[in-house]
């Protein structure tokens, strides 16, 4: 009797052990490397719906609010706080609170975790922090090093204070569980 080839024996053993079905993608033996994995049902995954789309929406709305409120209303009260000059705009802060609530609510409705809701709400503040760091770094490379008062005022005015407003708007949705959010509206 002829013995089967070792490759065929291994393949047959792997198929039997993985239990590959038409809805799964076989990616290796079960255990540390994985096992059967469900095939994606389209391009939009749960993380895209619960995190990235709300992040993008809050970022776009925040950019719109920063420029349109400044141009339409035109009111920015400059306040000197020691060596730091801050521009407080009540309409801008209220808009940021509303935008933070929109991002957290959208993520909550999509089934996002508390971390997803927090990131969706705070994305504009994180983006502004990165922008300030980039400007300071480019200025240091060119040779125009900014003073600490300018860096502090830029971080407070562009990232910290709007970030607190975004967080205040997101607070009602951070403690809401996934089940409660799903059953409350539908």
**Among the listed residues 72, 74, 128, 76, the one whose alpha carbon sits nearest the alpha carbon of residue 99:** 128
Give the tokens for residue 23.
Answer: 């809805």
Is there a contact between 69 and 89 (Cβ–Cβ < 8 Å)?
A: yes
- 56 and 141, same domain (yes or no): yes
The answer as to whether 1 is a domain residue is no
- 94 and 10, same domain (yes or no): no
- 117 and 149, same domain (yes or no): yes
- 17 and 70, same domain (yes or no): no
- 103 and 148, same domain (yes or no): yes
Element (H, E) at 132: helix 114-142
Which long-range CB contacts under 8 A does 87-90 form with residues at least 24 apart? 87/157, 88/161
Digitized pLDDT (tens) for each residue of the chain, 186 residues in all: 566 566 565 565 555 544 545 444 444 444 444 444 444 555 678 888 899 999 999 999 999 888 777 667 665 565 666 666 677 678 888 999 999 999 999 999 998 999 999 999 999 999 999 999 998 888 888 877 778 888 888 898 889 999 999 999 999 999 876 555 555 544
- 134 and 156, same domain (yes or no): yes
Range of the domain at 58: 46-185
Look at the chain and report how many structural domains it folds into: 2
- 10 and 90, same domain (yes or no): no
- 23 and 52, same domain (yes or no): no
The answer as to whether 152 is a domain residue is yes
Pairwise CA distance, residues 9 & 137, whole Å: 60
The answer as to whether 160 is a domain residue is yes
The answer as to whether 148 is a domain residue is yes
The pTM for the full model equals 0.68
Any idea what DSSP says for residue 124? H
The answer as to whether 121 is a domain residue is yes
- 73 and 89, same domain (yes or no): yes
Which long-range CB contacts under 8 A does 152-155 form with residues at least 24 apart? 152/84, 153/84, 153/85, 153/86, 155/129
The answer as to whether 173 is a domain residue is yes
């Amino acid at each position: 009797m002829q013995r089967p080839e070792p490759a065929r024996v291994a393949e047959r053993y792997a198929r039997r052990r993985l239990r590959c079905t038409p809805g799964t993608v076989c990616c290796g033996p079960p255990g540390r490397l994985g096992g059967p994995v469900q095939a994606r049902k389209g391009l939009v995954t749960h993380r895209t719906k619960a995190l990235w789309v709300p992040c993008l929406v809050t970022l776009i709305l925040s950019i719109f609010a920063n420029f349109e409120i400044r141009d339409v209303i035109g009111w920015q009260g400059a306040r000197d706080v020691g060596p730091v000059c801050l521009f407080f705009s009540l309409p801008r802060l209220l808009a940021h609170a509303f935008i933070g609530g929109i991002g957290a609510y959208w993520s909550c409705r999509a089934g996002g975790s508390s971390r997803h809701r927090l990131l969706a709400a705070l994305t504009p503040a994180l983006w502004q922090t990165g922008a300030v760091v980039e400007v300071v770094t480019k200025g240091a490379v060119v040779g125009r090093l900014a003073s600490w008062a300018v860096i502090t005022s830029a971080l407070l005015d562009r990232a910290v204070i709007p970030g607190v407003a975004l967080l205040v708007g997101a607070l009602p949705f951070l403690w809401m569980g996934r089940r409660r959010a799903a059953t409350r509206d539908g």
